[in-house]
């Protein structure tokens, strides 16, 4: 299925860590899903940014390694959850106070440079670069 006229934009969301602190997560070049209660994130788009994405559930193994089922960006490990067979990163709308609080760490899951999924065709992909 191909959908035309899909809006692409940059969004900021809040993530509540298990230790009680919050992060602001920036997702660049993402599908505009502001009218939805969930967002779709591309694991390969995050990998392109250099984010370590393990979307293999704990129930499965890859080789002899159990799935980690998390996203690791910088020194943050963000556990994923499962919803109807899909990997989910639980986040929420940030408050105005959080958006203006410069003590809350901001992390980017995707690059601000243009994202062209079709450039992943073939074998010319270099993780963590913007060469497309």
Residue 85 token pair:
């067979």
Domain range list for the chain: 8-111
pLDDT tier for residue 3 given thresholds of 50, 70 and 90: low
Other Cβ atoms less than 10 A from the Cβ of 111: the count is: 19
27-47 average pLDDT score = 83
Q: What are phi and psi of 96, to 5 degrees?
A: -60, -40
6-32 average pLDDT score = 91
Using CA atoms, how far residue 31 sits from 9, 37, 113, in Å, is 6, 13, 15
**Tell me, what's the pLDDT at 16?**
96
**Tell me, what's the pLDDT at 61?**
80
Place of tokens 């067979």: 85
Residue 9 token pair:
């934009």
47-73 average pLDDT score = 87
pLDDT higher than threshold 70 for residue 72: yes
4-22 average pLDDT score = 89
**Tell me, what's the pLDDT at 131?**
47
pLDDT higher than threshold 70 for residue 54: yes
Nearest in space to 49 (alpha carbons), one of 85, 25, 81: 25
pLDDT higher for 113 or 95? 95
């Amino acid at each position: 299925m191909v959908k035309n006229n899909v809006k692409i934009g940059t969004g900021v969301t809040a993530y509540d860590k298990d230790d009680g602190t919050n992060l602001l997560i920036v997702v660049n070049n993402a599908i505009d899903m502001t009218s939805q209660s969930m967002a779709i994130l591309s694991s390969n788009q995050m990998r392109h940014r250099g984010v370590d994405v393990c979307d293999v559930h704990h129930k499965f193994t890859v080789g002899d390694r159990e799935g980690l089922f998390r996203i690791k960006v910088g020194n943050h490990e963000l556990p994923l959850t499962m919803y109807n067979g899909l990997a989910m990163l639980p986040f929420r709308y940030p408050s105005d106070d959080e958006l203006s609080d410069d003590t809350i760490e901001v992390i980017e899951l995707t690059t601000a440079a243009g994202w062209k999924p079709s450039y992943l065709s073939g074998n010319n992909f270099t993780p963590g670069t913007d060469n497309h």
